[in-house]
Amino acid sequence: MEEQNGRIDSIRTLLDQKLRTRAMDHSLRSLTVRDGLVDFASNDYLGFARSEYLRRFRDKAAKSLEPVSLGSTGSRLLSGNSHLAEDLEQELASFHGAEAALLFNSGYEANLGLVSALSHRHVTVIFDEYVHASIRDGARLGLGRSYSFRHNDPEDLERKLSAAKGPALVLVEALYSMDGDLAPLDQILDVCKRYAAELVVDEAHTNGLYGDRGQGLVAEKRLEGQVFARVVTFGKALGCHGAAVLGSSNLVKFLVNFARPFIYTTALPASSLISIKSAYGHLPGARAERAALRANIDKFNDLFPGRNCTGPVQSLVVGGNERTRRAAQRMVEHGLDVRALLSPTVPAGTERLRICLHAFNTAEELHRLALVLREELATLEMGLSEKAVSNW
């Protein structure tokens, strides 16, 4: 059936039309498996996901806990709770300098549960315009008013807070995964204090990388006692899966009672908990990995003088879904796994190549990446000389 008078009377027609529109916009997503390429795409910043040492450490830890159930068998509030989960939460809280921690199955669920539960009808939620979709979705599901402020702009945040009604909750990411820039946490926290607003920091891309033991950016800046809550994830630098909310004991009790993604989700199985515990056991001593990652970030910036992106995520704005797709495909043809970020994931006109640097990338791989990127910019006829390229 066809659309008539703005109405669609067939679900199948709706699917066809939506997919056709995405295909015409060159924004149709699909699943791919890429083997044999140099990894400049994954979030495995420290190489934990590929670590044979951690694999042996995890297997040894698993054997010491046998017999354990293969599955968690239910939500934490039913049959899915365990001493292993509660002990891990205590370890996480201690490691990150928090009063308490609560495990979630993913960073998406942690943000969704935290924000939607806190977004009471009397609360105003204000978030950086570049925050992850999970934070935006949590705000949509909540009952409170929600607004965005300009990216990394404390002055615009202050304008929004000055007009806020009722208690205010401010949400930022420590490191933004699309552009790779850090949040000015000290300045944002100063603004929050002036308006008695509570600050939540998503540390998905800084957990494991910042701080003397990898505790995150908030810990590196010694702001643990001033931040209302943090979200730490385990699927990036920790090389496994899951997430946790860090905060007060009261916050954890509140989430156990009101965070729907926690209440109604089957808990993480013992195998995941053991992997997380093993990764954290290795994290304080992973100084060589963190140093290697920092060195590779410096090398990459040196290859493009004028850049000063201090995190592992680097991005090159190409513009246009079709051009960005073609650019990513040519990177693959050179043996480099670099992914395209297309609209609507990023705003139209800012489609980009997203480059993730790792501790395990070699100097030869970085030089090859830089060479191909320069060649690709010339191929795209963007009108950028090598000197101009150095300024992205």
Q: Over 90: is that where the pLDDT of 71 sits?
A: no
Q: Are 87 and 227 spatial neighbours (Cβ–Cβ below 8 Å)?
A: no
- Could you say which of 241, 265, 284 is where a domain stops? 284
Q: Over 70: is that where the pLDDT of 2 sits?
A: no
Residue 306 included in any domain: yes
Categorize the per-residue pLDDT at 381 as very low, low, confident or very high, splitting at 50, 70 and 90.
low
Residue 7 included in any domain: no
* CA–CA separation, 364 and 360 (whole Å): 11
Decide which of 5 and 74 is more confident: 74
pLDDT of residue 261: 97
Q: CB neighbours (10 Å) of residue 349?
A: 9
Residue 69 included in any domain: yes
Smallest CA-to-CA distance from 214 within 269, 268, 187, 174 is with 174
* Residue corresponding to tokens 């006109």: 349
- Host domain of residue 71: 52-284
Smallest CA-to-CA distance from 248 within 100, 112, 133, 385 is with 100
- Residue 184 has φ and ψ, to the nearest 5°, of -80, 75
* Local structure of residue 100 (DSSP, 8 states): E
pLDDT of residue 152: 97
Q: CB neighbours (10 Å) of residue 145?
A: 17
Least confidently predicted of 136-140, 365-369, 370-374, 380-384: 380-384
Q: CB neighbours (10 Å) of residue 285?
A: 10
Shared domain check, 100 and 240: yes
Shared domain check, 291 and 275: no
Q: Are 277 and 95 spatial neighbours (Cβ–Cβ below 8 Å)?
A: no
Q: Are 205 and 43 spatial neighbours (Cβ–Cβ below 8 Å)?
A: yes
* CA–CA separation, 294 and 358 (whole Å): 9
* CA–CA separation, 72 and 67 (whole Å): 13
Helix (H, G, I), strand (E, B) or coil at 35: coil
Decide which of 263 and 4 is more confident: 263
SS (H, E, C) 143-185: CCEEEEECCCCHHHHHHHHHCCCCCEEEEEECECCCCCCECCH
Shared domain check, 243 and 307: no
Domain count, the chain: 2
* CA–CA separation, 38 and 336 (whole Å): 5
Smallest CA-to-CA distance from 177 within 391, 354, 347, 30 is with 354
Shared domain check, 187 and 90: yes
Shared domain check, 322 and 199: no
pLDDT of residue 86: 97
Residue 353 included in any domain: yes
Shared domain check, 157 and 68: yes
Decide which of 377 and 34 is more confident: 34
Q: Over 90: is that where the pLDDT of 382 sits?
A: no
Residue 197 included in any domain: yes
The tens digit of pLDDT for each residue in 193-210 reads 999 999 999 999 999 999
Shared domain check, 106 and 59: yes
* CA–CA separation, 61 and 54 (whole Å): 10
Shared domain check, 177 and 157: yes
Shared domain check, 167 and 71: yes
DSSP for 55-86, written as a single string: HHHHHHHHHHT-S--SS--SBTTTT---HHHH
Residue 362 sits in a domain of what CATH number?
Answer: 3.90.1150.10
| Helix 287-303 and helix 363-379, axial crossing angle in degrees, nearest 10 | 30
* CA–CA separation, 196 and 63 (whole Å): 49
DSSP for 192-206, written as a single string: HHHTT-EEEEE-TTT
Q: Over 80: is that where the pLDDT of 277 sits?
A: yes
Residue 256 included in any domain: yes
Average pLDDT of the chain is 92
CA atoms within 13 A on the CB side of 192: 24
pLDDT of residue 304: 78
Q: Are 118 and 250 spatial neighbours (Cβ–Cβ below 8 Å)?
A: no
Residue 151 sits in a domain of what CATH number?
Answer: 3.40.640.10
Categorize the per-residue pLDDT at 392 as very low, low, confident or very high, splitting at 50, 70 and 90.
very low
Q: Are 49 and 42 spatial neighbours (Cβ–Cβ below 8 Å)?
A: yes
The CA distances from residue 223 to 74, 115, 174, 197, in Å, are: 36, 21, 12, 15
Q: Is 315 left (phi over 0), alpha (psi -120 to 50) or beta?
A: beta
Shared domain check, 195 and 137: yes
Residue 34 included in any domain: yes
- Residue 296 has φ and ψ, to the nearest 5°, of -70, -35
- Could you say which of 284, 302, 333 is where a domain stops? 284
Residue 1 included in any domain: no
Shared domain check, 349 and 269: no
Strand partners, 315: 354
Kindly state the average pLDDT of the residues 25-39.
89
* CA–CA separation, 275 and 103 (whole Å): 13
Q: Are 142 and 171 spatial neighbours (Cβ–Cβ below 8 Å)?
A: no
Residues 6+ apart with CB under 8 A from 33: none
The tens digit of pLDDT for each residue in 109-160 reads 999 999 999 999 999 999 999 999 999 999 999 999 999 999 999 999 999 9
Categorize the per-residue pLDDT at 310 as very low, low, confident or very high, splitting at 50, 70 and 90.
confident
Shared domain check, 267 and 300: no
* CA–CA separation, 173 and 156 (whole Å): 16
Q: Over 50: is that where the pLDDT of 180 sits?
A: yes
- Could you say which of 229, 250, 284 is where a domain stops? 284
Catalytic residue ranges = 43, 132, 173, 177, 202, 205, 236
